[in-house]
């Protein structure tokens, strides 16, 4: 391999004269909501869009919306932004990422985005009075949102207006052919109003299940679903919120995926181009250069990040900044991580701080046991419970809702960064 020809002992000397790694060239992006150049894993969700959602919607077949949930740092928003970028490359109509701030009116945000999507679909240029009147009503929702309902304004409820516009956008996509309209709503757990959440989910769900009667050559008629796709992203508690407030309707109309940390094999594969062929960067005098990585440095990054996409990008970024030559060394990974360890620790602490008292008590009791002793009986005893069944509901939530532990014989941690923080000196280097 090329980097083996380089005398690594002169690395610091060479760095004074070669400046191949600058912040402008870094392919790592630890910031939230970005689509990093160094992409790792999530092939199942990416292929679900490519092989299931999009082709079925284009074929006029029903397919549920997708809800992608998980703890902070698992790359939910980045995943759907990558799906949206793929959709745009196919010529699909895509809303921007509609992030819902805490306490904001979701109907206003969605109405504003749908108006832009309607303009892209050419609806604003249509002369039908019915379309013009619909766009005017949606503009009122964009201005006032859910408060239209509270004021008991004349006319239909905001959610029915959004449903109608979604259907018209779907019809326009159907007329154009080979186009899907994709709506991405982020931070859905911040929708605090039960009524606003119910209206939003019903509007989206009604549009997803709407059918148009299509006549094909020969006069044959059939019912066709519209080419609409909806992605919701947020923290795990949204599953409880939506299920409690909309019941079976949400489950029937949206398929929920709870993201887990990445496997080490996914992370190693993402870094393999550095090891084998180098990562291309702009060089001096218009010539491109390549930055390589020691296999030991590759493994060090994977070991440090514990499957967390955010920490993977953070470790890679700091290793990139730790030198300027054309080889990322293990020493540079460790030096970079030292400057990132406080941020890594704060990241895990935020996850733990969000847990209700019983759930945090459970994971701390579990962490205090040796791996082979992590049974529900022993964990319950460590928590001070008289009966094992007292800890059962908490363990189920930490498994199915949070994705932090994995029930079994014995129990284990799915969230390896949480385990490392509770059972070792991580993120400090040994």
pLDDT tens, position by position, 284-297: 566 778 999 999 99
Cβ neighbors of 314 (< 8 A, separation 6 or more) are 28, 30, 305, 340, 343, 344
Q: 9 lies in a domain?
A: yes
* Domain co-membership, 294 together with 149: no
Q: What share of the chain is helix, strand, coil (3-state, %, to 5)?
A: 55, 15, 30
CA pair distance 136, 265, nearest whole angstrom: 52
Q: What is the pLDDT of residue 3?
A: 42
* Domain co-membership, 106 together with 222: yes
The residue among 258, 275, 299 that closes a domain is: 258
* Domain co-membership, 13 together with 47: no
* Domain co-membership, 183 together with 69: yes
**Over the stretch 130-149, which tens digit does the pLDDT of each residue have?**
777 777 878 777 776 655 55
- Is 8's pLDDT higher than 50? no
* Domain co-membership, 51 together with 120: yes
User: Domain residues for 20?
Assistant: 2-29+262-351
Q: What is the pLDDT of residue 17?
A: 43
Higher model confidence: residue 284 or residue 215? 215
The residue among 296, 325, 351 that closes a domain is: 351
The pLDDT of 372-377, averaged and rounded, is 95
Q: Which of 143, 155, 164 is nearest to 228 (CA)?
A: 164
Q: 117 lies in a domain?
A: yes
If you average pLDDT over every residue of the chain, what do you get? 86
* Domain co-membership, 84 together with 181: yes
The residue among 258, 287, 317 that closes a domain is: 258
* Domain co-membership, 79 together with 208: yes
- Is 156's pLDDT higher than 70? no
Which CATH number goes with the domain that contains 379? 1.10.10
The pLDDT of 73-87, averaged and rounded, is 93
Q: 38 lies in a domain?
A: no
* Domain co-membership, 201 together with 132: yes
* pTM, rounded to two decimals: 0.86
* Domain co-membership, 362 together with 304: no
Q: What is the pLDDT of residue 11?
A: 46
- Is 209's pLDDT higher than 60? yes
Contact in structure between 243 and 251 (CB atoms under 8 Å): yes
Q: 310 lies in a domain?
A: yes
Among 93-97, 191-195, 319-323, the minimum mean pLDDT is found in 191-195
> H helices of 177-329, where?
194-209, 238-246, 248-253, 264-276, 295-305, 309-321
Among 4-8, 251-255, 259-263, 377-381, the minimum mean pLDDT is found in 4-8
Q: What is the pLDDT of residue 268?
A: 97
Q: 385 lies in a domain?
A: yes
Q: 34 lies in a domain?
A: no
Q: 35 lies in a domain?
A: no
**Over the stretch 264-316, which tens digit does the pLDDT of each residue have?**
999 999 999 999 999 988 765 667 789 999 999 999 999 999 999 999 999 99
pLDDT band at 23, cuts 50/70/90?
Answer: confident
Cα–Cα distances in angstroms (integers) from residue 382 to residues 80, 392, 413, in the given order: 40, 14, 17
Dihedral pair phi/psi, residue 218, rounded to 5° = 100, -5
Q: 36 lies in a domain?
A: no
* Domain co-membership, 225 together with 113: yes
* Domain co-membership, 198 together with 219: yes
Which CATH number goes with the domain that contains 148? 3.40.50.300
Q: How many domains does the chain have?
A: 3
Cβ neighbors of 251 (< 8 A, separation 6 or more) are 243
- Is 16's pLDDT higher than 60? no
* Domain co-membership, 277 together with 245: no
> 3-class DSSP state for residue 60?
coil
**Over the stretch 178-206, which tens digit does the pLDDT of each residue have?**
899 999 999 999 998 888 888 889 999 99
């Amino acid at each position: 391999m090329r980097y083996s020809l380089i005398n690594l002992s002169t690395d610091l000397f060479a760095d004074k004269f070669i400046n191949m790694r600058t912040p402008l060239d870094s392919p790592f992006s630890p910031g939230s909501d970005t689509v990093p150049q160094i992409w790792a894993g999530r092939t199942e969700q990416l292929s679900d869009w490519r092989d299931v959602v999009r082709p079925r919607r284009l074929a006029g077949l029903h397919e549920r919306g997708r809800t992608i949930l998980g703890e902070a740092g698992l790359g939910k928003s980045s995943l759907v932004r990558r799906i949206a970028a793929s959709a745009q490359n196919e010529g699909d109509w895509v809303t921007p990422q509609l992030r819902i701030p805490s306490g904001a009116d979701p109907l206003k945000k969605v109405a504003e985005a749908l108006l832009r999507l309607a303009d892209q679909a050419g609806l604003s240029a249509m002369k039908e009075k019915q379309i013009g009147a619909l766009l005017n009503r949606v503009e009122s929702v964009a201005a006032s949102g859910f408060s239209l309902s509270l004021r008991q304004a004349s006319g239909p409820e905001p959610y029915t207006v959004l449903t109608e516009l979604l259907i018209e956008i779907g019809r326009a996509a159907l007329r154009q052919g080979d186009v899907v309209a994709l709506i991405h709503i982020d931070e859905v757990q911040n929708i605090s109003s039960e009524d606003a959440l119910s209206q939003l989910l019903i509007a989206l769900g009604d549009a997803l299940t709407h059918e148009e009667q299509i006549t094909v050559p020969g006069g044959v008629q059939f019912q066709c679903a519209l080419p609409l796709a909806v992605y919701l992203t947020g923290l795990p508690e949204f599953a409880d919120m939506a299920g409690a407030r909309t019941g079976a309707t949400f489950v029937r109309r949206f398929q929920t995926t709870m993201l887990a940390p990445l496997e080490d094999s996914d992370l190693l594969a993402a870094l393999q181009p550095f090891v084998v062929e180098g990562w291309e960067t702009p060089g001096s005098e218009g010539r491109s250069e390549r930055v390589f990585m020691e296999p030991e440095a590759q493994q060090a990054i994977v070991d440090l990040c514990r499957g967390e996409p955010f920490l993977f990008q953070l470790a890679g970024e700091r290793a990139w900044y730790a030198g300027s030559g054309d080889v990322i060394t293990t020493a540079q990974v460790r030096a970079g991580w030292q400057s990132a360890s406080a941020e890594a620790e704060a990241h895990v602490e935020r996850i733990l701080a969000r847990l209700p008292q019983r759930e945090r008590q459970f994971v701390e009791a579990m962490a205090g046991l040796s791996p082979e002793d992590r049974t529900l009986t022993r964990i319950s005893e460590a928590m001070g419970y008289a009966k094992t069944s007292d800890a059962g509901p908490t363990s189920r939530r930490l498994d199915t809702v949070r994705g932090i532990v994995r029930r079994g014989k014995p129990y284990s941690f799915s969230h390896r960064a949480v385990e490392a923080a509770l059972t070792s000196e991580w993120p400090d280097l040994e």
